[in-house]
């Protein structure tokens, strides 16, 4: 897992090559909505892109993480089927519904049943390298979603230069990123991490939470500001230093949101002394996103080391899949 994380900049470079080389067969049309269906490491990229396109796309972009698609999916919908293995049962079922709805379908996978169905149905299918844990391949899948949206005229193509700048940033800051990760992992070790962010970085916060779950083998939770100011903030009533708060911050966060973050710190400090503010680096949205992803991925494997856990194994998920296969 450490090597996969270290190679993240290389993955982004390869993802650009894959996206630039792929030739879509589906023609452009005016969609009324876009649905990305995928779970876990195959779906989190969609959540981050949903944050990105919030103020850029003129039609809704929905991320579906279930067996069932929304009832509004029809022949005017674009459905992006994202499953790294190509065998995710929920995603396969959702894909069958998209076929029945006569939606335009684009698949992003490394193979499996989804690639096979795409081949038979002559759907666009962007293949990414196989043989890795899905959560370690978020760069591959996320970049292909961007190229898909670009092909259909839903977003502009300036993301390419931002991703290239991200690659340079991650390479240049590699040692500093790993140093910061170890410091933060030390603060989180033996604690219950609580992650807060602004709404447009919620996907990144979820990614961080999931990596702590899967790599670090720890429970944690996340919330967004300002929404948590209307509910969760009231829950801070018991002093408990076993809770460790991490606030993901950007200097460009909306000023009222930043003000709320400062006030939240004053409230939360009464109940835990473990509060860390993690600031992004970079000029563009994607530089900030990939900086956070790379840094927090390192945090998750450092936690695994500190807890003497195998960051790669997911035996309990394998057990769950095995039990489901019996039914």
Active centre residues (catalytic): 214, 230, 321
pTM reported for the whole predicted model: 0.95
**Band of pLDDT at residue 320, cut at 50, 70 and 90:** confident
Q: Please say whether the beta carbons of 138 and 12 come within 8 A.
A: no
Candidate CATH numbers 3.40.50.1100, 3.40.50.10490, 3.10.129.10, 3.40.190.10; the one for domain 2-157 = 3.40.50.10490
CATH H-level, domain 172-306: superfamily: Glucose-6-phosphate isomerase like protein; domain 1 (3.40.50.10490)
For the stretch 4-57, pLDDT in tens is 999 999 999 999 999 999 999 998 889 999 999 999 999 999 999 999 999 999
Q: What is the DSSP string of 150-189?
A: HHTTSS-STHHHHHHHHHHHHHHTHHHHHHHHHHHHHHHT
Run of H or E including 250: none
Strand partners, 79: 35, 105
Taking each helix axis from N to C end, the angle separating 202-214 and 285-306, rounded to the nearest 10 degrees, works out to: 20
Q: Residue ranges per domain, the chain?
A: 2-157, 172-306
**CA–CA distances in Å: residue 116 to residues 93, 110, 128, 214:** 14, 11, 14, 29
Fold equal for 2-157 and 172-306: yes
Q: Which two tokens stand for residue 130?
A: 């196989």
Query: How much of the chain, in percent, has pLDDT values that exceed 90?
Result: 91
Q: What is the pLDDT of residue 253?
A: 96
Gap between the terminal Cα atoms of the chain: 32
pLDDT, tens only, 89-139:
999 999 999 999 999 999 999 999 999 999 999 999 999 999 899 899 999
Per-residue pLDDT, 202: 97
Phi and psi, residue 284, nearest 5°? -90, 165
What's the mean pLDDT in 139-148? 96
pLDDT, one tens digit per residue, over 170-206 is 999 999 999 999 999 999 999 999 999 999 999 999 9
The answer for residues whose C-beta is within 8 angstroms of residue 225's C-beta and 6 or more apart is 196, 197, 198, 199, 257, 260, 261, 264
């Amino acid at each position: 897992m450490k090597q996969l994380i270290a190679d993240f900049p290389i993955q982004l470079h390869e993802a650009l090559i894959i996206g630039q080389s792929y030739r879509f067969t589906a023609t452009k049309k005016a969609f009324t909505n876009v649905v990305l269906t995928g779970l876990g490491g195959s779906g989190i990229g969609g959540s981050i892109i949903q944050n990105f396109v919030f103020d850029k796309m003129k039609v809704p972009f929905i991320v579906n993480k279930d067996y069932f698609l929304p009832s509004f999916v029809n022949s005017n919908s674009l459905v992006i089927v994202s499953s790294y293995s190509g065998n995710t049962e929920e995603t396969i079922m959702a894909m069958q519904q998209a076929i029945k709805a006569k939606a335009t379908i684009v698949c992003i996978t490394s193979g499996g049943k989804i690639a096979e169905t795409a081949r038979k149905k002559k759907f666009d299918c962007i293949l990414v390298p196989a043989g890795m844990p899905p959560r370690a391949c978020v760069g591959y899948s996320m970049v292909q979603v961007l190229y898909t949206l670009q092909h259909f005229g839903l977003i502009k193509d300036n993301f390419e230069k931002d991703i290239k700048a991200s690659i340079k940033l991650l390479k240049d800051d590699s040692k500093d990123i790993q140093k910061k990760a170890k410091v933060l992992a030390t603060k989180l070790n033996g604690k219950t991490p609580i992650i807060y962010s602004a709404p447009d970085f919620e996907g990144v916060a979820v990614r961080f939470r999931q990596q702590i779950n899967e790599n670090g083998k720890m429970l944690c939770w996340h919330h967004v500001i300002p929404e948590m100011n209307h509910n969760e903030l009231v829950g801070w009533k018991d002093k408990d230093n076993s809770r460790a708060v991490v606030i993901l911050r950007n200097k460009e966060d909306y000023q009222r949101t930043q003000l709320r973050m400062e006030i939240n710190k004053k409230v939360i400090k009464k109940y835990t002394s473990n509060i860390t503010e993690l600031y992004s680096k970079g000029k563009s949205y994607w530089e900030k996103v990939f900086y956070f992803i790379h840094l927090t991925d390192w945090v998750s494997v450092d936690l695994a080391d500190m807890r003497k856990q195998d960051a790669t194994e997911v035996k309990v998920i394998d057990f769950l899949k095995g039990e489901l296969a019996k039914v």
